[in-house]
Structure 1
Amino acid sequence: MSSRIAFLTEMAVDAQRTGETLFYVRIPGDINPLERENRFEEPLDAALKGAGLGEVAGGGEQMGNGNEILYCGLDVYIKDRKAGLQFLRKALRSLEVPAKTVIEEFLPQWQQHEL
């Protein structure tokens, strides 16, 4: 298991203890932190909070060679897994995330959800 997935699985275990589900939204492309925050992180957080389903707890990037960003990601904590996953898919499509964006889930085992 990659160190990234192992680390996120530990975060998912912590979330599960508080009755939440951790999803990681992996958005492909060279998207800088400010653009990620403005285009995806803040609007998604507002939508989730407005619906009472959860929140975006943070984000980051995976760097490639040099200063290239391979993908960015969002840590999303959801209170109701089923309703939250459905809402998350719809919200991400409305935010026009790039093609091949996926939602990763870590428990009971790692899996990817397509939009």
Structure 2
Amino acid sequence: MRKLFFCILILITNIVFAQDTTFILAHINEALMPIERGEKYEDPLFDFLEASGIGEVTGGGTSLDKSGKVEWVGVDIELVNAQENIPLVIKELKRLGAPEGSFLEYSFGEKRVQVPIE
């Protein structure tokens, strides 16, 4: 059963990445430790993106200040048809509780774009 699950996961990943995707960083203005970040944002967003067939979460990170205090967290997303699906990601991140000051960041050609999560 486990082998079947991994085969299906690989197949889904290949289908998603066979399409043209855009790397998007969700900059979430919240001080969370890595496990909390995963539970609150990465895992539910992964489930949402997978169920919708529009992308996947590929990683995440934590930004620290000079004293080692968490400033904000990031979630790495590969999104299919970014222009069409960014509003869906914003809606889901708002539902998950992304606070004011959070935004999505990605490149469009040579231009860096930031879209507020409001």
TM value normalised by structure 1: 0.80
Q: Deviations over 1:69-91 (max 9, x none)?
A: 11110110011112320110110
> Are positions 1:49 and 2:50 aligned together?
yes
Preserved contact between residue 19 and residue 80 of structure 2 (Cα < 8 Å):
no
Q: Give the match for residue 12 of structure 1.
A: none
Partner amino acid, structure 2, of 1:110: R
**2: CA distance, partners of 1:34 / 1:104:** 23
Match of 2:20 in 1: 19
Matched, 1:58 2:75: no
Task: State the partner residue of 2:70.
Answer: 69
Look up the match of 2:89.
88
Distance 1:71 1:84 in 2: 24
* Cα pair 2:30 2:98 within 8 Å, conserved: no
Equivalenced residues, count = 100
Q: Is the partner of 2:60 in helix, strand or coil?
A: strand
CA RMSD for the aligned pairs?
Answer: 1.7
| Residues 1:113 and 2:115 aligned together | yes
Higher radius of gyration, 1 or 2: 2
Task: Measure how far apart 1:30 and its partner are.
Answer: 1.7
Matches of 1:72 and 1:106 in 2, distance apart? Answer: 19
Return the letter of the residue paired with 2:39: N
Residue 48 of structure 1 aligns to a residue whose secondary structure is helix
CA–CA separation in structure 2 for the residues paired with 1:89 and 1:41: 14
**Structure 2 residue identity aligned to 1:47:** F
Percent pairwise identity: 24
SS in 2 for 1:106: strand
Query: 1:38 maps to which residue?
Result: 39
Output the TM-score relative to the length of structure 2.
0.78
Q: 2:63 touches 2:73 (CA, 8 Å); kept in 1?
A: yes
